[in-house]
Structure 1
Amino acid sequence: MLRTGGIVGALALAVPATPAAAPPPFEILRWTAPGAELAALSTQPAACLGSAAVEVQAGEALFNSPRLLGGQAAKAGLSCAGCHVNGRDNAHFLMAGVSDRAGTADVTHSFFGAARGNGRFDPVTIPDLARPGKVSRDPAGGALESFVRDLIVDEFAGREPTPAMLAALAAYVRAIAPCPDGDPPGRRALDDQLRLIDFALRGATGMARRADPVAARALLAAARHQLGLIAERYPAPPFGAERRELLAASRVLADMHDKAANSDGFIAALSAWRAAFEKDLVQRLRRREARSLYNPANLAFVAPQQDNR
Structure 2
Amino acid sequence: MDRKSAILITFAAAAFGLSACAAQHSQLSLRETAWLAADGQLEALSSEPHVDREALFVAAMDSELADHYASPESLRNDLLVGEFLFEAPLLLGGQAAKAGISCHSCHVNGTDNPHFLFPAISGEAGTADTTHSFFSKSLGNQTFDPIVIPDLTMADKVDHSMKSGELEAFLTTIIIGEFSGAAAPSSTLAPIATYVRALRLSGPRQEPIRNPRSLTQDFADLRLAVDQAMHRARNAESELAALLLSSGQSQIRSIHERVNRTSHTHLRNWLIERSREMGALRQRLNARDPDAQNQLAALQERLRSMPDITDAEADSLYNPEVLAKALRQ
Bucket of the pairwise TM-score, normalised by the shorter protein: 0.7 to 0.9
1:295 aligns with 2:301: no
Conservation of the 8 A alpha-carbon contact between 1:54 and 1:199: no
The answer (yes or no) to whether the contact 1:28–1:40 under 8 Å persists in 2 is no
Give the match for residue 248 of structure 1: 273
Call closer, same or farther: CA 1:279–1:86 in 2, change over 3 Å.
Answer: same
CA distance in 2, matches of 1:257, 1:3: 24
The percent of aligned pairs where both chains have the same amino acid is 36
Secondary structure at 1:44 match in 2: strand
How far did 1:170 drift? Answer: 0.5
The residue number in structure 2 matching 1:271 is 297
Contact 2:86/2:103 (<8 A) preserved: yes
Summarize the Cα distance change of 1:156–1:279 in structure 2 as closer, same or farther, 3 Å threshold. Answer: same
Gaps of 5+ in 1: none
1:201 equivalent to 2:204? Answer no
Q: Distance in 2 between matches of 1:275 and 1:157?
A: 36
Give the equivalent residue in structure 1 for 2:158: 135
Q: Check the 8 A contact 1:259/1:266 in 2, yes or no.
A: yes
Question: CA shift at 1:74, angstroms?
Answer: 1.5
CA distance in 1, matches of 2:249, 2:261: 19
Relative contact order (C-alpha < 8 Å, sep 6+): which is higher?
Answer: 1
AA partner of residue 47 (structure 2): T
Aligned to 1:37: 41
Q: Is the 8 A contact 1:38 1:302 kept in 2?
A: no
Aligned to 2:191: 168
Decide whether the 8 Å contact of 1:23 with 1:301 is kept in 2.
no
Provide the alpha-carbon RMSD of the alignment. Answer: 2.6
Aligned residue type for 2:98: K
Measured after TM superposition, the shift of residue 21 of structure 1 is 4.5
Secondary structure of the 1:291 match is: coil
C-alpha separation in 2, matches of 1:250 and 1:102: 32
Structure 2: 5+ residue stretches without partners: 1-11, 58-74
Query: Number of residue pairs matched?
Result: 293
The alpha-carbon distance between structure 1 residues 201 and 2, as it changes in their structure 2 partners (threshold 3 A), is farther
**Candidates 115, 131, 149, aligned match of 1:108:** 131
- Counterpart CA distance in 2 for 1:205 and 1:274 is 9
- Call closer, same or farther: CA 1:265–1:59 in 2, change over 3 Å: same
- How far the C-alpha of 1:129 sits from its partner, in A, is 0.8
Residue aligning to 2:141: 118
Q: What is the SS of the residue equivalent to 1:256?
A: helix
TM superposition score normalised by structure 2: 0.81
Q: How do residues 223-242 of structure 1 correspond to structure 2 at under 5 angstroms?
A: 223-242=248-267
- The answer on whether the counterparts of 2:158 and 2:167 sit within 8 Å (CA) in structure 1 is yes
Residue 160 of structure 1 deviates from its aligned partner by: 1.6
TM-aligned CA deviation for residue 109 of structure 1? 0.9
How far apart in 1 are the matches of 2:124 and 2:31? 20
Q: Which residue of 2 aligns with 1:158?
A: 181
Query: TM-score of the superposition, structure 1-length normalised?
Result: 0.86
SS at match of 1:146: helix
Which residue in 2 is equivalent to 1:62? Answer: 85
Contact persistence 1:84–1:126 (CA under 8 A):
yes
